[in-house]
Amino acid sequence: QLHLQESGPGLVKPSETLSLTCTVSGGSISRTAYYWAWIRQPPGKGLEWIVTMDYSGNTYDNRSLKSRITISIDTSKNQFSLNLSSVTAADTAVYYCARGALRDFDFWGQGTLVTVSS
């Protein structure tokens, strides 16, 4: 059974970098058939796609966030990570990691709330 689990600090100070990791279990992150993504949801609001990557590091990102995003994948640990720099209160959200095809998400993690506040 596939399981995705987000982890990282729940509180980040303004102007600092938000760092999250998604640990995948029940399946290999190296399978070429799949892509791995980050999506966020501000409290009480809708969903915003952030970035999609494949196991070899090729990425597709939301240009509204592009300059602040750094992503990585660690196939030895079956994990992928997101760094979002220069955060503001507008970056407060539940962050989800997900698996899918290039243009789709078929399986989501449970999400982790990140609050940006001093």
Chain contacts with other proteins (rule: CB under 8 A): 46-49, 52, 60-64, 96, 102-111
Query: Nearest distance from residue 76's CB to other proteins, in Å?
Result: 26
Query: Nearest distance from residue 58's CB to other proteins, in Å?
Result: 13
3 state SS of 114: strand
Nearer to other proteins, 92 or 105 (CB): 105
Which of 4, 5, 10 has the alpha carbon at shortest distance from 93? Answer: 10
Query: Nearest distance from residue 49's CB to other proteins, in Å?
Result: 4
Q: Is 51 exposed, middle or buried (0-12, 13-18, 19+ CB in 10 A)?
A: buried
3 state SS of 5: strand
Nearer to other proteins, 14 or 57 (CB): 57
